[in-house]
């Protein structure tokens, strides 16, 4: 009888893809402009500039999902 186990990379990748998929479907206003194009990173008053641009948020979410996966792996082992 084979036991299926997930390692931390599989958990992190699955979690990351789910979160990114939800963000790309929802398209929050702090990351995307009104015409649904991603905002550029920067400080200012322009409609096309945001501190929470996808090129900043996506790598941070990748690191965060890895740490969550490590926590899940430690708590279930």
Mind listing the pLDDT tens digit for each residue in 7-58? 889 999 999 999 999 999 999 999 999 999 999 998 888 888 888 899 999 9
| CA distance between the termini of the chain | 20
Contact 17, 73 (CB under 8 A): no
Q: Is the pLDDT of residue 71 over 80?
A: yes
3 pLDDT band, cuts 50/70/90, is: low
Q: How far is CA 34 from CA 28, 51, 64, in A?
A: 10, 16, 28
Per-residue confidence (pLDDT) for residue 10, from 0 to 100: 92
Q: Which neighbouring-strand residues pair with 38?
A: 32
- Verdict on whether the full-model pTM lies above 0.75: yes
């Amino acid at each position: 009888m084979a036991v299926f186990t997930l390692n931390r990379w599989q958990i992190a990748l699955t979690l990351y893809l789910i979160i990114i998929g939800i963000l790309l479907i929802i398209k929050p206003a702090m990351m995307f402009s009104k015409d649904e194009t991603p905002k550029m990173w920067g400080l200012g008053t322009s409609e096309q500039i945001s501190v929470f641009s996808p090129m900043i948020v996506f790598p941070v979410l990748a690191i965060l999902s890895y740490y969550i996966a490590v926590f899940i792996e430690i708590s279930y082992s």
